[in-house]
Amino acid sequence: MDFEAQHEHELLRESVRDFFDRELPEAKIREYDRARRIPRSIWKQFAQQGWMGISVPEEYGGAGSDIMAGSIFCEELARRFPSLATDWLLTSMTARLFLEVASDEHKREVLPKLVQGDFLMGFGMSEPGGGTDVLALKTRAQSDADGWTVRGQKLYTSLADDADAILVLCRTETPDESKRARGLSLVLTPRNQPAVTVRRLELMGMRAACTCEVFFDDARAPVDAVVGERGRGWYHLLATLDEERILCAAMYVGITSAALDQALQYARDRVAFGRPIGGFQAVQHPLADTATELEQIRLLTTKAAWMLAHGKPCATEAAMAKLAATETAVRATDRCMRVLGGYGLVEETPMERLFRDTRLGPFSPISNEMVRNFVGERLGLPRSY
């Protein structure tokens, strides 16, 4: 690996930071967080900057960049507004799914609109009776001459309330208990119809991110609604897991970086007993630990992104990066909150939001317990689940 930062990556960092300073200052972020909503106009602004299709090839209107640029962008979003990074990550992953498995016709139809910010896609996988046990899902889709009928319920469905359509993982074939992964399909279901009911969930953290419960009561989807191969939806999703975990890790690198910046500034400015509190070991040591761990997770995330960008197998490294970054972010926000003391609990400080937002990391998009199971198996240990 070359540790010299590429010029275009530094330009990307600067452009994101300039955008926040100009368009999304802290006061506006706090307003959106309290309203629990990100205006759709933000996505149009992103599209104008070329950020809605960072990894989408130029032939579909995207920037054609790799996962290295995507992880830097996600890190910078999360440094200022983790809820926005969460929703952007979802749009990035649905775009990746289309690139990997959709027909050429489907790509030409959907990707340019997504890149232009004219089309938002939700994603429904988890259900009330199955989170990690995805293959136990009960949502069904049946085909007829006029299209598909989708029936079921999804929970923690990203972007559903703002979306034009929801990509629904559902069973389209008769279930085979011995091979549950077979017979699942990805059905792109229009959102704006009476048979689709969306309830926006009010979360403790990532409050402005669009996370929903969705009911499909014989919802209709067109004949060509299946994205990829019918019955192979689960396998299509598996092909995107490494990128998802790397982007997730990058997001929590950004949160850790932001928390450390906030705590360092406060430690310099806050005076007690005649000197800045940063002069006391009880404040210096946890910040030094956090700075050290930040470099560790940034390196691990960068390595995984570099491997993926160069076509090297990186499933273990991507999983480790997600595990390390999310656990580190939880520790970091806790330490940094203690440095700020009571001031950290005031909503006018970014620390209060960062502290809440980071709590999602250890169990999303996959629980860290399952990540540890996966890594353990890759180490040659018996499968534990």
Domain residue ranges in the chain: 7-120, 122-231, 237-378
Determine phi and psi for 264, rounding to 5 degrees.
-65, -45
Dist. CA 100–CA 202, nearest whole Å: 33
Token pair for residue 211? 């996370």
CB 317 within 8 A of CB 300: yes
Token pair for residue 136? 């136990």
User: In the beta sheet, which residues pair with residue 220?
Assistant: 149
Dist. CA 298–CA 268, nearest whole Å: 25
User: In the beta sheet, which residues pair with residue 272?
Assistant: 275
Q: Which CATH architecture has domain 122-231?
A: Beta Barrel (2.40)
Exposed/middle/buried for residue 288 (C-beta within 10 Å: 0-12, 13-18, 19+)? exposed
The H or E element containing residue 291 is helix 281-309
pTM: 0.96
CA 336 from centre of chain: 23
Q: In this predicted structure, what is the pLDDT of residue 134?
A: 79
Dist. CA 74–CA 65, nearest whole Å: 13
Dist. CA 62–CA 107, nearest whole Å: 12
Q: In this predicted structure, what is the pLDDT of residue 179?
A: 76
CA-angle at 40, arms to 36 and 41, nearest 5°: 120
Q: Which CATH superfamily is domain 237-378 in?
A: Butyryl-CoA Dehydrogenase, subunit A, domain 3 (1.20.140.10)
Instruction: Tell me whether the CATH fold assigned to 7-120 matches the one assigned to 122-231.
Output: no
DSSP state of 345: G
Q: In this predicted structure, what is the pLDDT of residue 133?
A: 76
Q: In this predicted structure, what is the pLDDT of residue 129?
A: 82
pLDDT (tens digit, 0 to 9) for every residue of the chain, 385 residues total?
666 768 899 999 999 999 999 999 999 999 999 999 999 999 999 999 999 999 999 999 999 999 999 999 999 999 999 999 999 999 999 999 999 999 999 999 999 999 999 999 999 999 998 767 778 889 999 999 999 999 999 999 999 999 999 999 999 987 766 677 889 999 999 999 999 999 999 999 999 999 999 999 999 999 999 999 999 999 999 999 999 999 999 999 999 999 999 999 999 999 999 999 999 999 999 999 999 999 999 999 999 999 999 999 999 999 999 999 999 999 999 999 999 999 999 998 999 999 999 999 999 999 999 999 999 999 999 998 8
- Residue ranges of the alpha helices (H) in 24-138? 26-35, 41-49, 67-80, 82-101, 104-115
CB 312 within 8 A of CB 333: no
CA 159 from centre of chain: 11
Determine if the peptide bond prior to 365 is cis (ω within 30°).
yes
Q: In this predicted structure, what is the pLDDT of residue 3?
A: 66
Pick the CATH number of 7-120 from 1.10.10.60, 1.10.540.10, 3.30.70.2200, 3.50.30.60: 1.10.540.10
